[in-house]
């Protein structure tokens, strides 16, 4: 069975602070993909990153960075120098790479509020 846990339901920080969103997953599959999506108040889910289970290199994209640690089954997301526009709900998701697996298994989401 697959499961994604985002233990932080809500986080509130002041602008320019760094913030890390935690994601822990469970799967018995050896090959899988992990995703992060952003859902701003407008509603649409915005794809942020996709990472496969064999690539443990950390990734940085501007103010965003991701730390994938297979040993602890975690795929954490850090926003550096947060901005008000980063306020959104963030979902971590898992998808095994096996035949017939179509569904993204989402975590419950973390609501991030950046205060000016």
Residues that bind other proteins (CB under 8 A): 33, 42-47, 50, 52, 91, 93, 95, 97-100, 102-104, 106-109
Distance separating alpha carbons of residues 83 and 49, to the nearest angstrom: 19
Q: Minimum distance from CB of 20 to other proteins (Å)?
A: 20
Q: Which is nearer to other proteins, 7 or 97 (CB)?
A: 97
SS (H, E, C) 8-72: CCEEEEECCCCEEECCEEECCCCCEEEEEEEECCCCCCEEEEEEECCCCCCEEECCEEEEEEHHH
């Amino acid at each position: 069975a697959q499961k994604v846990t985002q233990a932080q339901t809500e986080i509130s920080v002041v602008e320019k602070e760094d913030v890390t969103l935690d994601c822990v997953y469970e799967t018995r599959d050896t090959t899988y993909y992990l995703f992060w999506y952003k859902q701003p108040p407008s509603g649409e889910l915005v794809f942020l990153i996709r990472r496969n289970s064999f690539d443990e290199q950390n990734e940085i994209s501007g103010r965003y960075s991701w730390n994938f640690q297979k040993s602890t089954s975690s795929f954490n997301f850090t926003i550096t120098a947060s901005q008000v526009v980063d306020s959104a709900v963030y979902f971590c998701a898992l998808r095994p790479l096996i035949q017939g697996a179509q569904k993204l298994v989402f975590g419950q989401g973390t609501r991030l509020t950046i205060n000016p």
